[in-house]
Structure 1
Amino acid sequence: MGTDLREVKAAGKRPSGLPADLAGVVGLTSVVVAAAVLPIVNETLVRALVAIPFALFAPGWALVAVLFPHGHHETDESGGDRTVSDGLTLYERVALSFGTSIAVIPVVGLVLDLSPVGLAPDAVVASLAGLVLALVAVAVRRRRALPSELRYSVPYRRWLSAARSNLFRTETSRDTALTAVVAVSLLLAVGSVGFVAVDPKQGAQFSEFYLLGADDSGDLTAESYPQNFTVGESRSLVVGIQNDEQTTTSYTVVVRLDRVELRASSTRVVESERLHRFEPRLAANETWHRQHAVRPSMAGERLRLTYLLYRESPPEDPTVGNAYRDARLWIDVNER
């Protein structure tokens, strides 16, 4: 049986409001974005629990809503011997939504992979959310262009009433429970595919940190470092960071010149001066280079020029021991 035409007309009496099904898609999209952004929940199981139904259902439902704005209803004409049907049934919409969601997500992932942004989880979530919201806007416009009695609408009140009556009937309660178990198992199995696409894991997450020097021809290499300095005079190095953390990351680079005392099993800093500080913010897979003019004021032989890398802010006393990454050079600094 199709949806009663009177119910379809009643559901379409508020043409200015967001349809219930599309409002649910917008709400689910907002929850997914919040779960990806909020630091309290983005590393918990909550993110997976909302990402699975979003990836499995929301993109496809929004696209199907754009393509098929008509509702499905059946009416008997005056003689009662002919049936007229429009649009898709609920089951057809759900089936198409699953299929198109699984088809849309890899396409979005391919576009991102070929772009400078890359397949960072935040970029995937943002792209899918933006796509879903854009499709919802188009779907709303297409539905409003139709007469209210022809628009697709969700008769959720009738569904809830029917579900309550069937659930508490003794002869059908067991079948209902088994059907629910099978449905949930299927959703979890297929949804895991979508979740992998929404939250891709690309191996280890790390940052590359390095120093480069210019050779005689001006090319940057990992060998041509300046080793002899003069107090008050500058010589240049290039500091490099490659962000492979799979997400946008804020860094702090602290540059120190240390006079150290080498012991049998440890190194003790006798004197130190802080030379510079950088605070770059890099998108996933972005590379950062910065030329640094080193101008020491402390003279001595075998001084340790140390570059300390931190994610976010460094502690009050930055050291090799508490740095995320470090790069060191041994240099000689002569008096003028």
Structure 2
Amino acid sequence: MGTDLREAKAAGRRLHGLPADLAGVVCLTSVVVATIVLPVVNETLLRAAVAIPFALFVPGWALVAVLFPHGHHETGQSRNGRTVSDGLGLYERVALSFGTSIAVTPIVGLVLDLSPVGLAPDAVVTSLAGLVLVLVAVAVRRRRALPSEVRYSVPYRQWLSAARSNLFRTETSWDTALTAVVAVSILLAVGSVGFVALDPKQGVPSSEFYLLAANESGDLVAENYPQEFTADETRSLVVGIQNNEHVSTPYTVVVRLDRVELRNNSTTVVESERLHRFEPRLTADETWHRRHPVQPSMIGDRLRLTYLVYKWNAPADPTVDNAYRDARLWIDVRER
């Protein structure tokens, strides 16, 4: 307990030593990662509410901090009778941060799309978080290499003082309230666009499930399924799942060979042989394929090769009636 407390205090001192704006960036990045990792909040609207402003602004702010470590200071030089200044002011940084974030986020998405990870909202936000932390480390190093009087810093104490004085001045209270309404309206508009871009959930959450077999040229197709087997003969099939649930989802796939009879206009399983069980966990929009051998030992005609899919765990008695998705093939198995 004592070691954990010392480590927490040391982490607090390191964060306290960061410039105010970059400390805020680190805190927001930590919150974003937590909303993705923690099961309590990763399926709520809080995830989108935090991730959207993060993706639209924070990566750009961190990149601008790396490129422009100087503050906005007048140099005293004159060009055409005007005073020249170096660095960027707050408004320039904010505008440039939105622009660079909009440029950086698609690049990260393109890299992920070309990688085995795939283009999923959680993967994009997590990758952006890692990039932001790297940029913050570089930005801190660059600022500390400059004299303190020329480093960029956020004058938040002046803002708080000015806000307190303006709120209690009758002649400016209405202006302040109007400015706040306009600012909130702009944030809501930008957030709505970002929500559609980062979390484009369309339709009812669902999952696709299918079986594939190889044709004569070796390509996987949804046809040419094997129908004739010899006992203990091995033939290959491929089972596939496309996660369209919009969240990371674990699945259980149970493969059985059933002998069925028609009784009272309903199908009854009279004998069953368990062949396989798979338990993939798929991120949002991820596709999973699994090639597997089918080697039946049960003999008979019109045997039902049954694939049962469940979200999370399968029940003790998996059936077609309680499965989330299912697929069935009718096969004949002969003796050797």
The amino acid across from 1:289 in the alignment is R
Amino acid at match of 1:34: A
Tell whether the 8 Å contact from 2:51 to 2:125 is kept in structure 1 after alignment.
no
* Structure 1 residue 128: Cα displacement: 1.6
Given the two structures, how large is their TM-score scaled by the length of structure 1?
0.82
Map of 1:211 onto structure 2 = 211
**1:135: which partner in 2?**
135
Contact 2:208 2:241 in 1 (8 A): yes
Q: Deviations over 1:138-190 (max 9, x none)?
A: 11111111112211112222211111111111111111000100011011112
CA contact (8 A) 1:69 1:142 kept: yes
Q: Distance in 1 between matches of 2:182 and 2:220?
A: 61
User: Structure 2 vs 1, CA of residues 140 and 323 (structure 1 numbering), >3 Å: closer, same or farther?
Assistant: same
CA distance in 1, matches of 2:220, 2:56: 48
Match of 1:7 in 2: none
Q: Residue 236 of structure 1 aligns with which residue? A: 235
> What does residue range 20-59 of structure 1 map to in structure 2 within 5 Å?
20-59=20-59
Report the CA distance between 1:292 and its aligned residue. Answer: 1.4
Contact kept, 8 Å, 2:215 with 2:224, in 1: the verdict is yes
3-state SS of 1:150 partner: coil
* 2:149 match: secondary structure: helix
2:262–2:268 contact (8 Å) kept in structure 1: yes
Deviations 1:88-132 (A, max 9, x none): 222221222222223332333334344443321111111221222
Residue pair 1:59, 1:97 contacting (<8 A) in 2 also: yes
Structure 1: any 5+ residue segments left out of the alignment? 1-13
Tell me: CA distance 1:51–1:212, structure 2 relative to 1, closer, same or farther (3 Å).
Answer: closer
Cα distance in 1 for partners of 2:282, 2:50 equals 28
CA shift for structure 1 position 49? 2.0
Q: CA deviation at 1:76?
A: 8.2
Q: How does 1:303-318 map to 2 (within 5 A)?
A: 303-318=303-318
Q: Which moved more, 1:32-41 or 1:262-271?
A: 262-271
Whether the aligned pair in 2 keeps the contact of 1:102 and 1:194 (CA below 8 Å) is: no
Report the counterpart of residue 69 of structure 2 in structure 1: 69
Alignment partners' CA distance in 1, 2:32 and 2:106: 18
SS at match of 1:240: strand
- Give the secondary structure class of the aligned counterpart of 2:321: coil
Residue 5 of structure 1 aligns with which residue?
A: none
Which gives a bigger RCO, structure 1 or 2 (Cα 8 Å, sep 6+)? 1
Query: Residue type of the partner of 1:294?
Result: Q
Identical columns (%): 77
- Counterpart residue number, 1:289: 290
Q: Is the 8 A contact 2:275 2:294 kept in 1?
A: no
- Whole-angstrom CA distance in 1 between matches of 2:325 and 2:128: 34
Kept in 2: contact 1:15–1:148 (CA 8 A): no
CA distance in 1, matches of 2:202, 2:134: 28
Aligned in 2, Cα 1:116/1:205: closer, same or farther, shift over 3 Å? farther
Aligned partner letter, 1:53: P
1:247 is displaced (CA, Å) by 5.5
Do the aligned partners of residues 273 and 24 (structure 1) sit closer, same or farther apart at CA in structure 2, a change above 3 Å counting? same
- The CA deviation at 1:60 is 1.6
Q: In structure 2, do the counterparts of structure 1 residues 155 and 259 end up closer, same or farther at CA, with 3 Å as the change threshold? A: same
| CA distance in structure 1 between the partners assigned to 2:313 and 2:130 by the alignment | 32
* Number of the residue aligned with 1:90: 90
Question: 8 Å contact 2:108–2:128 — kept in the other structure?
Answer: yes
What corresponds to 2:101 in structure 1? 101
Aligned Cα root-mean-square deviation (Å): 3.1
Q: What whole-Å deviation, never above 9, does each CA across 1:272-292 have from its counterpart, x for those lacking one?
A: 222221233455443413121
2:149 aligns with 149
More divergent stretch after superposition (254-263 vs 277-286): 277-286
Which residue does the alignment assign to 2:199? 199
The count of residues paired between Structure 1 and Structure 2 equals 318
**Structure 1: distance between partners of 2:196 and 2:263:** 50
Counterparts of 1:15 and 1:324, CA distance in 2: 48
Between stretches 100-109 and 49-58, larger displacement belongs to 100-109
Q: Find the residue that maps to 2:239 and give its secondary structure.
A: strand
Q: Secondary structure at the match of 1:272?
A: strand
Distance 1:281 1:50, change over 3 A: closer
User: Match of 1:125, as an amino acid?
Assistant: V
CA contact (8 A) 1:254 1:309 kept: yes
Aligned residue type for 1:27 = C
Following TM superposition, by how much is the alpha carbon of 1:252 offset from its aligned partner in structure 2, in angstroms? 2.2
With 141-150 and 268-277 compared, the bigger mean Cα shift is at: 268-277
**Greater Cα shift, 23-32 or 301-310:** 301-310
Aligned partners of 1:106 and 1:197 also within 8 Å: no
1:173 equivalent to 2:173? Answer yes
